[in-house]
Structures are given as structure tokens and as C-alpha cells.
Structure 1
Amino acid sequence: MKVATVGTGFIVEWFLTSVEQNEGAKCVAVYSRKETTGRKLADQYHVEKVYTDFTEMLKDAEIDTVYVASPNSLHYHYALEALQAGKHVICEKPFTSTVDELKHLIQVAKAKRLFLFEAIVTRHMPNYRIIREHVEQLGKIRMIQCNFSQYSSRYDKFLAGENPNVFNPAFSGGALMDLNIYNLHFVMGLFGKPQEVRYEPSLAANGIDTAGVLLLTYPDFQAVCIACKNCEAANYTQIQGENGYLLVSGATSLLQEVMLNLKQKQTNIGTEEIMPGLYYEVKAFVSMMKQGDLDACYRELENSLAVFEVLYEARVKAGIHFAADEETSS
């Protein structure tokens, strides 16, 4: 996998570190609108090529994969242009701003027989596989609680009257898209689509959700998913069943420790994940591409689409509107 990156934020640095740690992956180019910003990132990771023209970068025959980590609202446009140029795409979460955008990307990827991945770490973590293997021991599930909260590094600027992308409806920001999507992937990866979804957000004056509670209703249980960008919390996930419970420490993007409690007997069943979270998703993407396993890729896309349909329904029901909604409707 010879990848070019789009974006220069901290998540790109995490991704490039994981690329360096994975055999079979190499970054060969960096794209940034500013040469100085792109060059700084490229030099940090020993990447030779820096592009300031995205279309020109797509003409580079050495590049076979484009990693998109731009502001959320731009994911669709960068991913679509890359696919149309014959490049595989890894797109940061949330995949797109609307369901129609995601469906179009999937349609193009399948028509061109290209790989298209959502960079969502939760599904690829070793501890998530362990949770999936043990969840049936809990018996009939009765309640799930997820809390992923962190005080945003940009929240003070937002309070001061600035308009950072992550708190801007024009850039498809907010707590639901940025944090609760991890909780949603966690729950739906185990239990599928809920019967009903409701989102109760804390809305700022500009209409963006700085925090919120996502309620997923299943036939026998409910999942309460909390995400806050305006305060901290002891992040954890708890799956409660009639036989006991699973307690997962850390955010649903980390899954740091997994404790299984059955009839008052507690066991640590998790594995120590010594590599950064993005390492595992990059490893999975490299493996699928090396094997040419498009079927596995497209199964993952079905999961991503299902999650995004619920995410989108929750957002629309809560009255949170993005600029991309207008583009879709027109």
C-alpha cells in the first residue's frame, strides 16, 4: 500500500506512525494546501513528495491509496475524486456528512473494483474481538452504557467566539459525529441495527452539539451512548446481561481493559494492546489489499453504511443541520 495523505492534523500523524509500524505500507506523498505545512509533516515522517494541488497528486502513478483526514464536510469530495482517479481510499470517520454521499462513494468504489475503508479503530482492536467472543456468556442483554467524553482542545476557542471546524455546522462537526460514532460502532458491531434511535443533544447557539445522549432501543434492551466535547469523564463501556456484565475501561476508541464478571467472579479477559490504535486498522487494510479481498472490504462497507444511517437519523431527528444537507437536497 503506497499511500498519500490529505490533511495535516494530529490524526494524520497517528496514521503515519502506524504506517511506519506496518510492513507492507508506506507513505509516498503528502497533500496540503500550504507547502510549508505539508513539508513540515513530510520531513517529520521522511516523505519525499509534497503536493499543494490535489488533482495533480492523483496523477502520481506511484500512489495507489489516498488517506483522507480533512474536515468532515470535505471527506466526500476528496474521496470521490480519488476513487474516480482509480485510487483506493481510506477515509477518516465520520465517512461523509450524509447517507447519500456515502452511498455514492460505495457505488463508485464497487463499480471500479476499488478498496474503500472507513478509518474506525474500534472494529479492528484486539480487545473488540475478545468482547465479541465473550458477550454471549452474559446471557440475555438488558442494558448497555457507553461514555466517551473529552474536553476538546478547541472548546476554549469556541467559547471565546471563534468557530473551529469541529464545532462548526458548515464542516459537519459536533459531538455526535466526532465521538458518539465510536460508541455507535461499538454497539452495532455486536448487536446490529436498533429498532429505534433518539438523540438528545446539548446545542450551542450555532446549532452544533457540544455533547449529547444517544439512545438506541433493541427488542430486549437499551444502549445509552454519551459523548461530550465540553467536559471530561471516566470513560467506560458496560454491557449488562442476566448472567453478569462486561466492563471495558477507556473510551470506545481505546478499549483499554476488559473485565468479565459472571456471578460475582471477575476475570480480566482483555489483552494488553501495546500498539497505537490506528496500527490495528492499518494492519487490517494492508491485509485485505494484499489478498485482494474486496469482498471483506465491501462487508465492512455494509457495516459502515448501517452505522451511518443510524447516525444520520439521530442527527436529523435532533434538528442538527449541516451545510451538506442543503447540497444533498439540491
Structure 2
Amino acid sequence: MLRFGTIGTSWITNSYIDGALDSGLWTLTAVYSRTLEKGREFGAKYGVETVFTDMEAMAQSDLIDAVYIASPNKLHAEHVRIFLENGKHVICEKPLSAHAKDVKALQTLARERGLIYLEAIMFMHLPQRRLLEEALEKIGGVNIAKLDFCQRSSKYDAYLSGNLPNIFNPALETGALMDLGIYCVYPALYLFGMPERTQITAQLLASGADGSGIVAMQYPDKLVNLVYSKVGQAAANTDFQGNLGTVSVASISKLANIEIIYNDGSRETVCGEEPKYKLMGYEAKDFYRYITEPEASAAEYAQCCALAYAVSDYMEQLRRDAGIRFPSDR
């Protein structure tokens, strides 16, 4: 087994840890927190006693082989660099950075050091992705698609009350596009490549963060719309319309409850839904495989790196076109 540490103590870190441990390939040996008390409380849930409050010390430690980073978006690139420079493999929560140049630089650093630097995006590691591709083949060529991830933030009421939660604070490089839109961008670029034309409309809140957005992607033979929101809850599914039917996806982020509805009205169930920790466990399994089987997994890992950079570059373009600005843009 490989040993890993974690940066971040939110629910997403819990889910990743649960998935990694469930895989049987990883053991958690250290956690980082800004305060020793919170770190001990978090580590105690997993029987981990080693807590770091100094990130450099954690990166230099021989207690971990790799790290899972789930710090605020703004800090991702900085934290990744610390661990890569100290010889640790890194899996970092999305988005890797608000700036594609940072992603490229860190990918170069990882390659030079012989390390794995991976974006923790479930889509690229779920077996359901192959099932989705097979389902799309069954409906003929896709001519129009709508990828939807609208989930009202639990922090939105606090924002409406005059507070500024992290998710609606541009200084932390967050907002609807960075948090939820990326789950739509990834499958769009993976399945269809870069569009010929793009048009984005974003709803900007008073804080400067985007609360929601719509992206129209035009291809020679299809139209793809991305719809995402942190201020409203969607009841509609993602769907891909083809010549022979429609593929409906209840959750594009989890690739859950996929169904084919053929033109004659008949239906075919493709897959149901798995628990979140299981989904994140697939990320942990691939992360392990890329580290321990570098030659056998080289092409797959290279595809992940290329798409991670393409997504970062495209999302930076979307922000620019929509007028979504972060302090780091200066």
C-alpha cells in the first residue's frame, strides 16, 4: 500500500479518504490543518495521530508518499508546488488553478521529477464513463446536448443575509463556473473536443462571483449547451439527443442513473447510482495505478494531463468572456 496525507478538513476530504481506504490500496498516515486542535479532531476519525500545521514540514516528511489537496481554490497551485518540489505525488481537487499557465508549469515540474500530478475529477475515472460512451453510440450521432449541473448552495442564504461565504468570494477564485461548471466542461471537451465557437452568459452577483451561467458551444455537426448554477436547483437532467434516441443522465458529476430513451418510446437502463465515497475511490485507484504502473498507464495518464490543461485553458477563456475577474488575473 501507498501512504498519503490530506490537506483540507471538509466533507469532500472525508469522501476521498473513505474511497481511498475502501480501495485497499492506500493508508492514511498524516493530516494537515491550520490548527492542531482541528487537525487532531479530524485525524482521530481515522485513527491518525500525525498532524501537521506546517505544510513545508509535511511535504518534507518521509511519512507520506502522496497527498490529496482540498484547500481553497486560490491556494491549489501554491500547495501543489510545495509537495511536488519535495518529491510527493499529488492529487488535487478541481479546479487545479484559475490560470492555465500554472497548470502547465506544474505538469512540467511533475514530469521533470518523475511524479504524478492529477486533477481529482470523477468523470475521468468512473467506469460509468465507458457506459456513457457506449450509450451514445446506440443513439447514432449526437446533434444536440445539454449538460446541466444546477445545485443551490447551502451557503446562498448566508450570502443573501449579507455575509460573504467562501463560495461567493472572487478573492478565493470560486463561483458557479469554477465549482459546478467544470463538471460540465470536462465531459463536453472529452466527448466532443474544442468547439468552433463559444458564447457564455453569466449572472454576476454583487460580490463579483458568478451565481450561474450558460455556455453555448457550436460544433460543425452539433450544439452543446452547458447550464450551471449555485443559486437555483435543477429538476431537469443532462441529455444527449441523437438520431435514434436520447441518453438521459440524472447527474453529470456522478454519471448516475443513465438511461436511453429510443425514438419508439422504449427505454434501456444503463446504470444506477453509487455512493460518493465509492466514486472518489475510483480516483484513488487510478492515482495508485499511475504511480505504481507508470509504463502501463502512461497513455491514460497523459490523456488526463492533456484534458486537465485544455479544461483550465478553456475555463480561463470563459471567465474572460463572461467578465468573471479574480484578483490574481492582474
TM-score range, shorter chain: over 0.9
SS in 1 for 2:60: coil
Q: 1:198 and 1:46 mapped to 2: Cα distance?
A: 49
TM-score if structure 2 supplies the norm length?
Answer: 0.94
The aligned residue for residue 236 of structure 1 is 237
C-alpha distance in structure 2 between counterparts of 1:133 and 1:62, whole Å: 42
The equivalent residue for 2:170 is: 169
SS of residue in 2 equivalent to 1:95: coil
CA distance in 2 between counterparts of 1:194 and 1:267 reads 30
Residue aligned with 2:213, SS:
strand
Match of 2:257 in 1: 257
Structure 1 unaligned spans of 5+: none
Task: Give the corresponding residue for 1:320.
Answer: 324
Pairwise CA distance, 1:77 = 0.1
After TM superposition, the structure 1 = structure 2 runs for residues 136-151 of structure 1, keeping only pairs within 5 Å, are 136-151=137-152
CA distance in 2, matches of 1:34, 1:111: 33
Shift of 1:295: 4.3
Deviation at 1:272, TM superposition (A): 5.1
Alpha-carbon distance in 1 for matches of 2:248, 2:282? 22
Distance 1:235 1:276, change over 3 A: farther
Paired residues of 1:197 and 1:313 also in contact (CA < 8 A): no
Cα deviation for residue 140 of structure 1 reads 2.4
1:13 alignment partner in structure 2: 14
In the TM superposition, 1:1-330 aligns within 5 A as: 1-249=2-250, 251-264=251-264, 265-270=266-271, 273=274, 276-292=278-294, 293-326=297-330
Offset, 1:235:
4.9
RMSD: 1.5
| 1:121–1:281 contact (8 Å) kept in structure 2 | yes
SS at match of 2:271: coil
Q: Supply the distance in 2 between the matched residues of 1:230 and 1:82 (Cα, whole angstroms).
A: 35
Contact kept in structure 1, 2:150 and 2:229, CA below 8 Å: yes
Asked if structure 2 preserves the Cα contact closer than 8 Å seen for 1:288 and 1:294, the reply is yes
User: Is 2:93–2:121's contact at 8 Å kept on the other side of the alignment?
Assistant: yes
- 2:92 & 2:195 partners in 1: Cα distance? 25
1:166-202 residue CA offsets vs partner (Å, 9 max, x unmatched): 1111110000000010011122221122222222111
Please give the TM-score of this superposition, normalised by the length of structure 1.
0.94
CA-to-partner distance for each residue in 1:235-266, whole Å, 9 max, x for gaps? 521001112111111x2112221111233232
Task: Give the counterpart letter for 1:212 in structure 2.
Answer: G
Report the Cα offset of residue 318 of structure 1: 0.6
| Count of residue pairs the alignment pairs up | 325
The percentage of aligned residue pairs carrying the same residue is: 34
Q: Deviations over 1:4-31 (max 9, x none)?
A: 1111111111111112201111111101
**Within 1, Cα distance between the matches of 2:197 and 2:5?**
39
In 1, Cα distance between equivalents of 2:197 and 2:68: 33
Cα distance change, pair 324–268 in 1 and its aligned pair in 2 (3 A): same
